[in-house]
Amino acid sequence: MAIDSVSSVSSVGAGSGILTQDVLDQLRAADEAARITPITLEIANEEDKQKALKTIDATMTNFIDSINAIKTATLWDDRAATVSSGTSVEVSASSKTDVQDFTINVTTLATKQIEQSGSFATEDDLISGGAGQINININGQDFTVDYTATTTLKELKDLINTAAGAKVDATVVQVSAGDFRLFMSSVDTGTTQDITVTDISGTVDARLSTGMTDIQTGIDSAFTFNGQAITRTSNKITDLITGLTLTLKETGSSNVSIAQDRTSILEKFDSFVGKYNAAITELDKMTNPSTESEERGIFSTDSTIKGMKRAIENMIESAGGGVGSMIDYGFDIDKDGKMTLDKTVLETAMDDNSVNTQAFFSGGDFTKTDLSVVPLTGAFADMSVIIEGYTKFNATLDSLKDNLSDSISSLEDRKASATKRLDSRYEILTKQFIAYDIIINKLNSASSMFVQLANAQTTN
């Protein structure tokens, strides 16, 4: 009876089948799970915090921008100009223009001076038999135009526009077949815009000197402001009231109102409310302490982000400098922590006491019911200081960003060191497996020989 051969060993090289690469891989995986994976998970968590912090940072930037847009007294300087009746004027008002109502009655619109030459058969007709000069005078300013024996009517038009284009517009018009004329129009309007053409050399065609005729005379605009007669050289008037621009459009009467631009103010207050709610919503999500992992916020245990959320909530309650609260002006916080604004309440406060309302929000002297005066920095200015303590350069959020970056860098160093140690360990272990495999192979060979000899003896 033959003796069964001993099972072969297969390791990293060849051998018994015991010390294989699979065994090494399984050992390596177990070591990595214990030593590398926890560090990897920590890095991933810190990187998730970095991403979340970018979202918070963007939200807080939008929030502070909305506060800064309304924290100064300039918020209340915006003006809205309205023409309540009539179409004789268009009106615009810059900030701080005096609030008022007035009537404009336009009797005359300012016009330009327009001159035309005599008739030429074509626009390519020559204007002179030789070289020379003409002088164009408008509003006391002289412009010299040189021409040659080959200058055409069309070319003269271009020469005039080049020399005097700041004051005169020149063009050639075909009035009818075989009737071309040079038209010169003053750029500006008014009685001072008279155009005079003088032939300096005495060689230009008379149709361009003595043949020039007025087809429209420049005149001033005339209107009344609340009954007071006024004239100007232009239909665009910027020197009547500081910050006010009137554009006269046609004759007739119009009623004009200059008022505080409530629409602009309320839009900025709406933006503040929206940005506040966006910030609170994001911070609620990021700091949610839920026991459910999918609901728990990534900063649920972070004192910095939780502290910032509390600071925002507290500043709304404490704003007012001791003379009132934001609730007095229509602001409120609902049960979910979201802000609402009753614009009717706010506008009523603005109508009843605009000075106190402005002082409450943007700073100034606030007069209490007992007539004592309290100087305020303004609720929004106070909020800005609190929020910028977190958002400005090198403030709290920047420090948190730096801490996260340092933590990730430190964890990556730990991971690299741990990986290097495992690499070294398994490099040694691989060599040991190969050495053991050689020994096993020798034992296998000796065992095989022994079996062959035994079988031979048994056969004999």
Q: pLDDT grade, residue 176 (50/70/90)?
A: very high
Query: Above pLDDT 70, what percent of the chain?
Result: 92
Query: Hey, CA dihedral for 27, 29, 35, 36, is it positive or negative?
Result: positive
Asked whether the predicted pLDDT for residue 352 surpasses 60, the reply is: yes
Report which of residues 20 and 165 the model is more confident about: 165
Lowest mean pLDDT among 4-13, 41-50, 127-136, 326-335: 4-13
Rounded to an integer, the average pLDDT of 135-163 is: 96
Rounded to an integer, the average pLDDT of 405-423 is: 92
pLDDT at 18: 59
Do strands 168-176 and 141-147 pair parallel, antiparallel, or not at all (unpaired)? unpaired
Q: pLDDT grade, residue 366 (50/70/90)?
A: very high
Rounded to an integer, the average pLDDT of 212-230 is: 97
The residues of the chain that CATH labels 2.60.40 are: 112-216
Q: pLDDT grade, residue 457 (50/70/90)?
A: low
Average pLDDT, the chain: 90
Asked whether the predicted pLDDT for residue 6 surpasses 50, the reply is: no
Reported as a single tens digit per residue, the pLDDT across 190-212 is 999 999 999 999 999 999 999 99
Q: pLDDT grade, residue 446 (50/70/90)?
A: low
Asked whether the predicted pLDDT for residue 10 surpasses 70, the reply is: no
Q: At what angle do helices 396-459 and 379-391 cross, to 10 degrees?
A: 30
Assigned CATH for 112-216: 2.60.40
Rounded to an integer, the average pLDDT of 417-444 is: 81
How many CA atoms, within 13 angstroms, populate the side-chain half-sphere of residue 292?
A: 3
Beta partners for residue 365, in sequence order: 375
Check: pTM over 0.85? Answer yes or no.
Answer: no
